[in-house]
Amino acid sequence: MKKTITALGICAFLLGACDPVENTETTAELSPYATASGIDKTGFDENVSPREDFFRYVNGTWIANAEIPGDRGTYGAFAMLRDESEINQRKIIEDLSTSDDLVAGSEEQKIGLFFASILDQSLVEGKGAEPIQSYLDMIDALDSKSAVVGFFGEANYFGVAAPMGTAIFPDLGDSSRYMNYIFQGGLALPGRDYYLDEGEKFVEIRSAYPPYIASLLEMAGFDNAAERADKIFAIEMALAEKHWSPEQNRNIPALYNLMGTEDLGNVSTSIDWQAYMDGAGLAGRTELVVAQLSYFEALGGIIENTSLEDWQDYLRFQILDGAAQFLSSEFADARFDFMGALVGGLEEQTPRWKTGVRVINATLGEAVGKVYVERHFPPAAKEQMQDLVANLMEAFRTGIVELDWMSDETKAMAEDKRSKMMTKIGYPDEWEDYSTLEIIADDPIANLAAATRWGYQDNIDKLDQEIDRNEWGMTPQTVNAYHNPTMNEIVFPAAILQPPFFNLSADPAVNYGSIGAVIGHEIGHAFDDQGRRFDGAGNMRDWWTEEDSGAFEARAATLVSQYDQFSPLEGLNVNGQLTLGENIGDLTGVTLAYRAYKNSLGGEEAPVIDGMTGDQRFFIGFAQVWRSIAREEATRQRVLTDPHSPPEFRTNGTLRNIPEFYEAFGVVEGDAMYLPPEERVKIW
């Protein structure tokens, strides 16, 4: 029951979350959300009118006083919960690994050996590239372009970036079976815009990139490093020019190109497809999905026009770059100076213990998750979440019935899909079996390699097996949530079910505005511009009438135009098309959560608490979960590569379309939060 890698963005539309930040001690102080309302009013900026900038009205004082930890690009509500989760995970890992009665080969022993090997820098210090020499030797042995393409396939087992990648998902056209997908890859920088954009920052990054490449090659003992680096950069530039953009990669039907292996030559005769399939463990497969067809058509020419020697250098760098943070300090420092500081804007490297926790979470995460649930997820939380989900689902049912722009025919299909949607809360019913994963003492690189190979093979082994509907794409200790279209399910790990998202003791208005909007967001993904293409069985199928499809697209186009106008940095606007699915999710989430909240009152008026009406508390609860600050570099990367809008626009951009928000805070024409009624978008 291995987590599926969502390389295409197909299998799970994930709720955006900040990465964790350092906090090495558990906190004993009272939570700022431990008030009668569940709202942290100390974060408010009363000098900002809620009618002008609701995000800063709710979060302005917190923003003014907050500091981004040196090892992070962003910091906020998600990050603080991830901090807490990582602290809890560290305690669990240390408890498990220091038990007096560890059994050889047990999960506990594997966790302890793996974690200790990551933490002990002395195991790699002074050894240079020696820990990865066996992989460099494999590249030395490549004697043809076919061998290079075969290594592209084998790189999946190593976790090494290559121009072609493989992942296993349910078949988008037939969700009753698994299918192998081949997709574009091979770029070490965050995205294609870092290679192609002419902005000043991108020019600076591109100028510093070849010297960084050369530094790794030199430290690994290769001569003529600068010349080799220029050629490696040229290969990545050629790949980037043919890469599909992030918004193109959201076009799921365009990515779904199912074909027989005998037809791969029609894509490109310059790619040795059989060599790739053999290397990737796909020998004997008779069909597959080739995503980004135009990329692969061009890739054949790039392979053909690049020398064997240059491909070898390219692969050497990809291995060195991927392993650098786990090698001796000169490699880790060089990578941080370029990728961390220049590209990411970070000030400090991630502490080793946090790296270790993240590695364990990514490889043996469910073994830790079992204990995490026992210690940190009370049964009452799951029960209340089940009630909230049921209320949101009912709100969506009535919303479908009341839609004035959709025909009865399409409404019936939408209701069929809604009624079949499954929900997973907290943790899996069946836990991952790690018995075949071998971990040894005192060798972090060997353990990383073993875990990566094990995880990839576990995915490959799904082919020709029944769909595992008990599978989770996240561990219970992950602060996030997701929607999986081929399973028609929404999933909420245990770690997100705590303040400010979910508070067992908080006023219902705040819970509906926070976790309720998250639940509604994931429901909304099933009916956003891409999720709507899937039916109740999880198959990609057009169940819309032509007229209803046109009405949906017109509303979506208006939302795209709204977000296109938002500019978090001078000269850099939000990409409304790239973020459309998430923006529809946010809009749907608030709409459904508000409807469910009002239904929960049974026609009664909510009490005034802490000087706020129920409606006001609802919208404030929504705004405070997006409390966040970010470095300029992190914001830039998010806008260019992330389908989620920056937090301030997830707040203000959403609420400007909600009529009840206007009533709750007296927003009128002339206020910055005001949109004329005819420009407001209502989809669900």
How many C-beta neighbours within 10 Å does residue 402 have?
A: 10
Phi, psi torsion values for 668, nearest 5 degrees: -135, 170
SS3 state of residue 186: coil
Q: Are 608 and 39 in contact (CB under 8 A)?
A: no
681 close to 559: Cβ distance less than 8 angstroms? yes
Q: Omega of the bond prior to 500 within 30 degrees of 0, cis?
A: yes
**Residue 677 three-state SS:** helix
Helix (H, G, I), strand (E, B) or coil at 27: coil
Predicted confidence at residue 31, as pLDDT, reads: 58
How distant, in Å, are the alpha carbons of 440, 574, 645 from that of 566?
Answer: 51, 6, 9
Q: 563: buried, middle or exposed (CB in 10 Å: 19+, 13-18, 0-12)?
A: buried
Task: In the chain, count H helices and then E strands.
Answer: 26, 10
Nearest to 510 by CA among 82, 32, 86: 32
Task: Give the pLDDT score at 29.
Answer: 39
Query: The whole model's pTM is what?
Result: 0.93
Predicted local distance difference test score (pLDDT) of residue 37? 75
Nearest 10 degrees: Cα torsion 122, 125, 127, 128: 150
Closest-CA residue to 577 (of 626, 486, 632, 639): 639
Outline where DSSP puts E strands in 554-663. Answer: 628-630
For residue 606, the model assigns a pLDDT of 95
pLDDT at 34: 56
pLDDT, averaged per 10 consecutive residues of the chain (684 residues), comes to: 36 30 33 72 96 98 97 95 96 88 92 96 97 97 98 96 97 97 98 96 97 98 98 98 97 97 97 98 96 98 98 98 98 98 96 97 96 95 95 97 97 98 97 96 96 97 95 96 97 95 90 97 97 97 97 98 97 96 98 98 94 97 97 96 97 98 98 98 97
389 pairs with which residues across the strands? none
Report the pLDDT value the prediction gives residue 10, as an integer from 0 to 100: 38
Q: Give me the residues paired with residue 88 across strands.
A: none
Order of strands, sheet of 482-484, starting from the edge strand that comes earlier in the sequence: 13-14, 482-484, 489-493, 422-426
How confident is the model at residue 30, as a pLDDT? 43
3-state secondary structure of 318: helix
C-alpha distance from residue 440 to each of 128, 135, 154, 597 (Å): 21, 19, 23, 52
Q: How many CA atoms lie within 13 A of 548 on its CB side?
A: 22
In whole angstroms, what is the distance from residue 462 CA to residue 71 CA?
A: 37
Output the six-digit token pair for 480.
Answer: 């996030």
DSSP conformation class of 134: H
Strand 174-184 to 164-171 pairing: antiparallel
305: number of Cβ within 10 Å: 11
Nearest Cα neighbor of 496 from 18, 43, 10 is 18
Give the whole-angstrom CA distance, residue 582 versus residue 578. Answer: 9
> Sheet containing 258-260: which strands, arranged edge to edge?
164-171, 174-184, 287-290, 258-260
Kindly report the CATH number that applies to the domain delimited by 130-327.
1.10.1380.10
Burial (CB count <10 Å: 0-12, 13-18, 19+), residue 431: middle
Domain 377-428+472-679: homologous superfamily in CATH: Collagenase (Catalytic Domain) (3.40.390.10)
**What residue spans define the domains of the chain?**
130-327, 377-428+472-679
Phi, psi of 271 (to 5 degrees): -100, 125
Task: Report the SS3 class of residue 336.
Answer: helix
